[in-house]
Amino acid sequence: MVKADEDAVYKQTLDLDFTGMEPQVACPHNVDNVKNVSELSKVKINQSFIGSCTNGRLEDLEQAHALLKGKQVHPDVRLLVVPASRAVYKEALQKGIIEDLLDSGAIVSNPSCAACFGGHIGLLGPGEKGISTSNRNFRGRQGSPEAEVYLSSAAVAAASALTGYITHPEEVA
């Protein structure tokens, strides 16, 4: 974490209140096509991907774990979990997170780009819809050009894996 010097002087300070703000989801096929999660509650998914270098951190796996532990992934959904690094994988393994995710029905892979760039585990087929914690959702990025990729937080992706549609985490907590 980067911290400012204690005697730092600022030109301006902004105080922002995000109370009541819903989780946001980037819709196909552009990262700027953003909607509130509640606006997408009717979107059924075939796959949930939690991982990649951007959102496969330990804190992301912990968010998913908190929602998935003791529950089962929806039978029509593939849940793929790919830790961002070997260190993250090992720590999640030591904390029991990996075992609990496997027990929930997740497929846990070695650290890699995986579905993020459409070259490994988790490719979407024509007409399929996936929710992903990766950082891009351009046409064809995670498989078929006819698939749709929605981008979200790990919590939204985990909640969606449980219900089979894009879901606010509060609905399954």
Q: Identify whether 19 is part of a domain.
A: no
Q: Identify whether 71 is part of a domain.
A: yes
Q: Identify whether 98 is part of a domain.
A: yes
Tell me which residue range forms the domain holding 63: 24-171
The number of distinct structural domains making up the chain is 1
Q: Please give the residue that has the higher pLDDT: either 74 or 29.
A: 74
| pLDDT range class, residue 111, cuts 50, 70, 90 | low
For the chain, the average pLDDT equals: 89
Q: Identify whether 160 is part of a domain.
A: yes
Q: Please give the residue that has the higher pLDDT: either 56 or 111.
A: 56
Q: Where are the alpha helices (DSSP H) in the chain?
A: 52-55, 58-68, 86-94, 97-104, 154-163
**Cβ-Cβ contacts under 8 Å for 60 (sequence gap 6 or more):** 50, 51, 84, 133, 153, 154
Segment 71-79 mean pLDDT = 98
Sheet holding 78-82, edge to edge: 34-36, 24-26, 148-151, 129-132, 47-51, 78-82, 107-108
Specify the CATH number for the domain of residue 35. Answer: 3.30.499.10
Q: Identify whether 133 is part of a domain.
A: yes
Q: Identify whether 30 is part of a domain.
A: yes
What does the alpha-carbon distance between residue 102 and residue 135 come to, in Å, rounded to a whole number?
A: 24
Q: Please give the residue that has the higher pLDDT: either 129 or 56.
A: 129
Q: Identify whether 2 is part of a domain.
A: no
| For residue 3, pLDDT beyond 90 | no
Percentage of residues in the chain with pLDDT exceeding 70? 89
| For residue 142, pLDDT beyond 80 | no
Lowest mean pLDDT: which of 50-64, 95-109, 120-134, 135-149? 135-149
Q: Identify whether 34 is part of a domain.
A: yes
